[in-house]
Chains A and B, each alone.
Chain A
Amino acid sequence: MAGPDEFAVIDAAAVERWIRAFAAAIAEHEPELTRLDSAIGDADHGANMNRGFKAVIAKLDEASTSGPAAMLKQVGMTLVSTVGGASGPLYGTFFLRMATAIGDTDTVDQKLFAAALRAGVDGVVARGKAEAGDKTMYDALAPAVDALDAALGGEDASGALSAAADAAAQGRDATTPMQARKGRASYLGERSVGHQDPGATSAALLLRTAADALG
């Protein structure tokens, strides 16, 4: 296990483990995501994400790409081209911005990974124009990147990513009492209160699988 000053190195194989783990988690949680989206949206978040990540996995099976950035870019492009709805552009932009932030390097240390994750989250904000408290995936992502940055100094790799995943899960839970101000759930006004946000739920899975695969 890497110590506080020895950042774990994330290579293309590690990124692939993460993407495959997230795809598996989406498949496993498809009914839950759809059920959550039925309550306040249009009942398609699980199906859409699963369709996109099946396509992502098919691409990964075809041929492995050269580096972490190329792989993340391929994931992003595939999601934009297959998911549709709001999740396609949001998750697609997330992975594309991560790829850009990583740039042309084969080995990503945890600092760079944290910076890339933040760039991805900034991309989600730029695309979706969501703010904290709007009851969206951003409410899970924002505390996660903050927790990751805060943990970088003192924790080992695994601990820092776990802290990020825990923060994402708390952020997801915190969406339940919120009133939605973005996406289709916003049309419900006060009736959106009391339901966990499906986008925050899939985003928490994204961080949990990152902790499991990269930690």
Chain B
Amino acid sequence: MKKLINDPADVVTEALSGIAAAHPDLRVDLDHKIVYRADAPVQGKVGLLSGGGSGHEPLHGGFVGPGMLDAACAGEVFTSPVPDQMMEATRGIDGGAGVLHIVKNYTGDVMNFEMAAELAAADTGVEVVSVVTNDDVAVQDSLYTAGRRGVGVTVLVEKLAGAAADEGRDLAGVAAIARRVNDAGRSMGMALTSCTVPAAGQPTFDLPEDEMEIGIGIHGEPGRRRVPLAPAREVAEMLVEPILTDRDFTGDGGTLLFVNGMGGTPLLELYVMYREVSRILAKAGVSVARSLVGPYITSLEMAGCSVTLLQLDDELLRLWDAPVRTPGMRWGV
């Protein structure tokens, strides 16, 4: 294992400390491992809270700021944060209009956020609504699994619900946008290499040089199948085909095409993938109105990518173009 760390046990706290030093717009509570926008709580605005295991940066702490999240709870690497953190953060961002919890569909995240919401209702009186993201079409049979994983669409939910909250919508309205985005988005990912969890010290799975994993998640959990390494154009087919089979993306508003890097893949290759994916979409009659390319929801140093497609409409398009000022996403300001 070669990593730029001091001690595996300190990696999350030290990274948060670095975030605090690098971004004066943010305030970091190191005891509770919470990243806040510096001016939280914003009076009268619905507060947006997300969180999850560390190792997916810039998700979630890198998406805290005007136009996106009010706070993010960081768990240990690939481990959900705990209810105490979520309670503390919920209190810290409530500006009187309630708080939306954005939760990725993983057993641990769902259970910890559930406990936090129960405790928050009993203890603090803050109104909390939760939205669970579950966009990963690689999980084929939801009846016999914990349901689809929340992956790329989570980034889009945070951006679009964040814009809706900035417009002054109430808690129900912001939650409705979040759910609509989740319903309108689908993702599929692949890996060329495994990641290495610092505390484990060795790659989570073995992947021979001439093979790749299709349908991986963002925690080094292996995918649904392992296939021989193929050129980018064939990988693009393997990712896009299940997405288009699962949902129709030929609506009038066009789509948002999000090609995401898993942390160990250079932008050069992500743009090769973008080219291949957009050619497939054009052939399938899917028009692309907006794009996002880069490492936004990562899996440590895993090489690979995911493709997320979101059906847009006039409202979602306007919310996407609204200003955002966070370390990981920034425009219009």
B140 proximal to A (CB < 8 A) = yes
Cβ contact within 8 Å between A48 and B76: yes
> Which of B115, B144, B204 contacts A89, CB < 8 Å?
B115
Q: What 0/1 pattern do residues 45 to 58 of B give for CB contact below 8 A with A?
A: 00000000100000
Contacts of A184 in B (CB 8 A): 106-107, 146, 217, 219, 221
**Beta-carbon contacts under 8 Å, A127-168 to B:** 127-128
B243 proximal to A (CB < 8 A) = no
> Which of B77, B140, B144, B205 contacts A44, CB < 8 Å?
B77
Cβ contact within 8 Å between A84 and B200: no
A202 proximal to B (CB < 8 A) = no
Task: A80 to B80: give the CA distance in the assembly, Å.
Answer: 11
With known contacts A85-B108, A86-B107, A89-B112, A189–B78 Cβ distance under 8 A: no
A64 proximal to B (CB < 8 A) = no
B149 proximal to A (CB < 8 A) = yes
Cβ contact within 8 Å between A42 and B219: yes
- Give the distance to chain A from B222, nearest Cβ to Cβ, in Å: 6
Contacts of B197 in A (CB 8 A): 42-44
Contacts of B108 in A (CB 8 A): 84-89
Contacts of B204 in A (CB 8 A): 38, 42-43
A112 proximal to B (CB < 8 A) = no
Contacts of B222 in A (CB 8 A): 188, 191
Cβ contact within 8 Å between B112 and A44: no
**Beta-carbon contacts under 8 Å, A61-110 to B:** 80-90
A59 proximal to B (CB < 8 A) = no
Cβ contact within 8 Å between A44 and B199: yes
Contacts of B200 in A (CB 8 A): 34, 38, 43-44, 47
A51 proximal to B (CB < 8 A) = yes
Q: How large is the interface on B (under 10, 10 to 19, 20 to 34, 35 or more residues)?
A: 35 or more
Cβ contact within 8 Å between A86 and B111: yes
B7 proximal to A (CB < 8 A) = no
Cβ contact within 8 Å between A88 and B112: yes
Cβ contact within 8 Å between A189 and B111: no
Which residue of B has the minimal Cβ distance to A92? B115
Cβ contact within 8 Å between B144 and A179: yes
Which residue of A has the minimal Cβ distance to B221? A184
Binds A, one of B81-89, B247-255, B317-325: B81-89
Which residue of A has the minimal Cβ distance to B143? A181
Contacts of A48 in B (CB 8 A): 76, 79
> Which of A43, A80, A186 contacts B146, CB < 8 Å?
A186
- Give the distance to chain B from A176, nearest Cβ to Cβ, in Å: 17
Task: A44 to B139: give the CA distance in the assembly, Å.
Answer: 21
B145 proximal to A (CB < 8 A) = yes
A194 proximal to B (CB < 8 A) = no
- Give the distance to chain A from B213, nearest Cβ to Cβ, in Å: 10
B75 proximal to A (CB < 8 A) = yes
Task: A116 to B124: give the CA distance in the assembly, Å.
Answer: 30
Contacts of B114 in A (CB 8 A): 89
Task: A172 to B197: give the CA distance in the assembly, Å.
Answer: 26
Task: A89 to B75: give the CA distance in the assembly, Å.
Answer: 14
Contacts of B62 in A (CB 8 A): none
Cβ contact within 8 Å between A181 and B145: yes
**Beta-carbon contacts under 8 Å, B105-134 to A:** 106-108, 111-112, 114-115
Contacts of B81 in A (CB 8 A): 84
A41 proximal to B (CB < 8 A) = yes
Cβ contact within 8 Å between A84 and B75: yes
With known contacts A182-B146, A187-B145, A84–B82 Cβ distance under 8 A: yes
Most buried by B among A44, A47, A86: A44
B224 proximal to A (CB < 8 A) = yes
- Give the distance to chain A from B279, nearest Cβ to Cβ, in Å: 29
Beyond A181-B145, A191-B222, 8 additional pairs, beta carbon < 8 A = A34-B199, A41-B219, A42-B219, A86-B107, A87-B108, A88-B108, A128-B107, A184-B106
The 4 closest A-B pairs by CB, nearest first: A186-B145, A85-B108, A42-B219, A86-B108
16 cross-chain CB contacts under 8 A: A38-B202, A41-B219, A44-B78, A47-B199, A84-B53, A84-B82, A86-B80, A88-B111, A89-B108, A89-B115, A128-B107, A184-B106, A184-B146, A184-B219, A189-B141, A189-B144
